[in-house]
């Protein structure tokens, strides 16, 4: 699919590439033993290395390397058995060393691919250019004092994975799907928590526009966008700006821009710096990073089942439509919950309940699947009561709402409220007879051809039976009486 905005001189196509910074899940930083917990008191998690004291030597954290390799494997990417660390030099108050240790020409992970699925079901492969490890910087706090800025170095030295995509994305929707899919994969792998609101995943968004079939034009980079929605809005805003520039005969200049969500625009921040401005050079304190192929294979063997594979399996094993399977695998916890309900039961039936009733209840009560008031075992028992005819489907909805409220077991609710399905034809016959007697006029209309009224009679009989009639039997008896 190509995204076009109709300008004066015809349709424009968007070209988008994302650089995602993903904070590595690890107890310690990339080159120091300091802690990485979110929300610690300022400067309480800073080692001499993070504070760049003279003479301190960085020591690579094996777990951070393992996390990068796991991520590379999960992105179907090449793992480079030898990679290098470079110094990226720049001055900023929250970067005490005056350089960031990063990987420039020899990243730990090379080309890979992410599969995204769009709303219309179209599937696209988005190329990953590379993944490299680097240190995060500290944080400047400008709002703590009227005339001073403060520096918090807790984040300084925390391991980041920078995951760079090819310029393969063509619309805000595709960029959103890419980010959500990447976040899902990272969470499955346990290598990044993907919490964009805590800053553990943020994106630099590269945007250009062109006429279909043309070579790429100049791009601009929108820095540090921190939600999927803002990424999509930033692309839209930046594309509109560039199209207007080209349409008016101007030239888009390569630059770094900022997105202002409140105004829905991007504004210029600085001219784009080039790699040579950073004077990258190999960090003399660090040897090339060499990985043992057997260690990499052990990490591969230990990977969890990833969302794409799980989705295929849900379709094959439980007979789910692709859409339902996709919804369920978007989060590992939902997938696990579904499987606990579906095992040994009818898969589609279980999926409908999880995606429909359960998700609605979680939304309404502000809970997540992890804090669900209804455990998968309890939902499974409810489905069994429907499957074996103890209650009908309509009553099951009420029992479920009761379970959400009270946490009580479904069989107890059914017993306490006397909700068993009525299959006794005598009781159904008499309910039908009294409903038909009370609605003689409608019966006459029905018999003179207004067959739509059948549904009305079913509803009245069910109502007379407090919803507990067996729907198939009610239909049979009604038909016989109205014949
Ligand atoms: P830098 O590190 O200087 O930002 P990179 O070569 O790493 O530059 O590219 C950064 C991102 O820009 C990548 O995600 C890439 O896909 C994207 N990109 C490159 N060219 C274009 C373009 N013409 N339009 C949109 N995005 C682009
Ligand atoms: Mg960049």
Q: What pLDDT digit, counting tens, does each position of 58-80 carry?
A: 999 999 999 999 999 999 999 99
Ligand closest to 215 (CA) is 1
Distance CA 459, CA 105 (A): 71
| Positive or negative torsion for Cα 164, 167, 172, 177 | negative
Distance CA 351, CA 326 (A): 11
Nearest partner of 358 among 185, 118, 349, judged by Cα: 349
The answer to whether the pTM exceeds 0.95 is no
Instruction: Phi first, then psi: give them for residue 248, nearest 5 degrees.
Output: -90, 10
What is the distance in A from the centroid of ligand 1 to the CA of 451?
Answer: 65
Residue 9 predicted with pLDDT over 70? no
User: What average pLDDT does range 335-362 have in this prediction?
Assistant: 97
Residues contacting residue 338 through CB under 8 Å, at least 6 positions apart: 314, 328, 350, 351, 354
Confidence band, pLDDT 50/70/90 cuts, at residue 19: very high
Q: Residue 286 corresponds to which tokens in the numbers above?
A: 């660090």
CA distances from residue 159 to 26, 86, 109, 282 in whole angstroms, order as listed: 8, 14, 15, 18
Distance CA 61, CA 83 (A): 15
Distance CA 369, CA 380 (A): 15
Please state, as a whole number, how many other Cβ atoms lie within 10 Å of the Cβ of residue 267.
12
pLDDT attached to residue 240: 95
Ligand 1 near 173 CB (within 6 A): no
Of all protein residues, the one whose alpha carbon is nearest to atom 2 of ligand 1 is 275
Confidence band, pLDDT 50/70/90 cuts, at residue 2: very low
| Positive or negative torsion for Cα 444, 450, 454, 455 | negative
Distance CA 61, CA 81 (A): 16
Q: Are 123 and 114 in contact (CB under 8 A)?
A: no
Confidence band, pLDDT 50/70/90 cuts, at residue 27: very high
Distance CA 298, CA 302 (A): 6
Ligand 1 near 164 CB (within 6 A): yes
Ligand 1 near 167 CB (within 6 A): yes
**Segments in 166-306 forming alpha helices (H):** 172-189, 228-247, 293-301
Q: Which strands, in side-by-side order, build the sheet including 281-282?
A: 99-102, 86-89, 281-282
Ligand closest to 278 (CA) is 1
Ligand 1 near 102 CB (within 6 A): no
Beta bridge partners of 10: 7
- Least-confidence region, from 18-27, 175-184, 330-339, 459-468: 459-468
pLDDT attached to residue 276: 74
Distance CA 140, CA 135 (A): 16
What is the distance in A from the centroid of ligand 2 to the CA of 131?
Answer: 13
Q: What pLDDT digit, counting tens, does each position of 189-214 carry?
A: 999 999 998 899 999 999 999 998 89
User: What average pLDDT does range 235-245 have in this prediction?
Assistant: 96
Domains of the chain and CATH, by start: 4-298 (no CATH), 305-416 (no CATH), 425-482 (1.10.10.410)
Classified as helix, coil or strand, 205 is strand
* Residue matched to tokens 């015809």: 10
What is the distance in A from the centroid of ligand 2 to the CA of 200?
Answer: 17
Confidence band, pLDDT 50/70/90 cuts, at residue 4: low
Ligand 1 near 166 CB (within 6 A): yes
Ligand closest to 239 (CA) is 1
For helices 307-318 and 332-342, angle between their N-to-C axes, nearest 10 degrees:
20
What is the distance in A from the centroid of ligand 1 to the CA of 162?
Answer: 13
- Least-confidence region, from 36-50, 331-345, 459-473: 459-473
Which of 167, 231, 257, 278 has most ligand 1 atoms within 8 Å of its beta carbon, as the pocket-test mutant? Answer: 167
Ligand 1 near 71 CB (within 6 A): no
Ligand 1 near 165 CB (within 6 A): yes
Of all protein residues, the one whose alpha carbon is nearest to atom 19 of ligand 1 is 167
Beta bridge partners of 256: 221, 270
Q: How much is the mean pLDDT over the chain?
A: 94
Ligand 1 near 469 CB (within 6 A): no
Ligand closest to 254 (CA) is 1
């Amino acid at each position: 699919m190509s995204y076009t905005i109709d300008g004066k001189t015809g349709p424009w196509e968007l070209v988008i590439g994302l650089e995602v910074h993903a904070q590595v899940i690890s107890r310690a930083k990339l080159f120091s033993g300091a802690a990485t917990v979110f929300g610690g008191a300022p400067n309480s998690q800073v080692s001499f290395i993070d504070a760049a004291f003279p003479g301190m030597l960085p020591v690579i954290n094996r777990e951070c390397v393992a996390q990068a390799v796991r991520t590379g494997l999960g992105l179907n990417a090449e793992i480079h058995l030898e990679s290098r660390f470079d110094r990226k030099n720049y001055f900023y108050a929250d970067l005490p060393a005056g350089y960031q240790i990063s990987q420039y020409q020899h990243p730990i992970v090379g080309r890979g691919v992410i599969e995204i699925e769009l709303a219309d079901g179209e599937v696209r492969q988005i190329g990953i250019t590379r993944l490299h490890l680097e240190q995060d910087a500290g944080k400047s706090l400008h709002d703590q004092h009227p005339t001073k800025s403060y520096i918090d170095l807790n984040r300084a030295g925390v391991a980041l994975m920078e995951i760079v995509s090819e310029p393969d994305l063509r619309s805000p929707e595709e960029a959103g799907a890419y980010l959500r899919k990447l976040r899902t994969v990272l969470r499955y792998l346990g290598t990044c928590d993907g919490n964009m609101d805590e800053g553990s995943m943020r994106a630099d968004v590269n945007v250009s526009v062109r006429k279909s079939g043309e070579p790429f034009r100049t791009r601009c980079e929108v820095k540090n966008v921190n939600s999927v929605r803002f990424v999509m809005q930033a692309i839209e805003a930046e594309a509109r700006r560039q199209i207007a520039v080209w349409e008016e005969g101007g030239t888009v200049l390569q630059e770094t821009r900022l997105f202002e969500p409140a105004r829905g625009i991007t504004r210029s921040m600085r001219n784009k710096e080039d790699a040579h401005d950073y004077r990258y050079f190999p960090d003399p304190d660090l040897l090339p990073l060499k990985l043992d192929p057997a260690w990499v294979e052990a990490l591969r063997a230990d990977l969890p089942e990833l969302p794409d594979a799980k989705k295929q399996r849900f379709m094959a094993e439980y007979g789910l439509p692709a859409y339902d399977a996709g919804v369920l695998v978007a989060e590992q916890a939902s997938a696990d919950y579904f499987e606990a309900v579906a095992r040994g039961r009818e898969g589609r039936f279980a999926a409908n309940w999880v995606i429909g009733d359960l998700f609605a209840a979680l939304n309404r009560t502000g809970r997540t699947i992890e804090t669900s008031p209804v455990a998968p075992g309890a939902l499974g028992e409810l489905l069994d009561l429907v499957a074996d005819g103890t209650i009908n489907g309509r009553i099951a909805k009420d029992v479920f709402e009761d379970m959400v409220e009270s946490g009580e077991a479904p069989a107890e609710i059914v017993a306490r409220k006397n909700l068993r399905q009525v299959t006794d034809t005598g009781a159904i016959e008499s309910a039908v007879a009294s409903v038909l007697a009370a609605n003689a006029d409608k019966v006459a209309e029905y018999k003179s051809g207004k067959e739509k009224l059948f549904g009305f009679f079913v509803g009245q009989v069910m109502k007379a039976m407090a919803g507990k009639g067996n729907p198939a039997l009610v239909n049979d008896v009604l038909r016989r009486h109205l014949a």
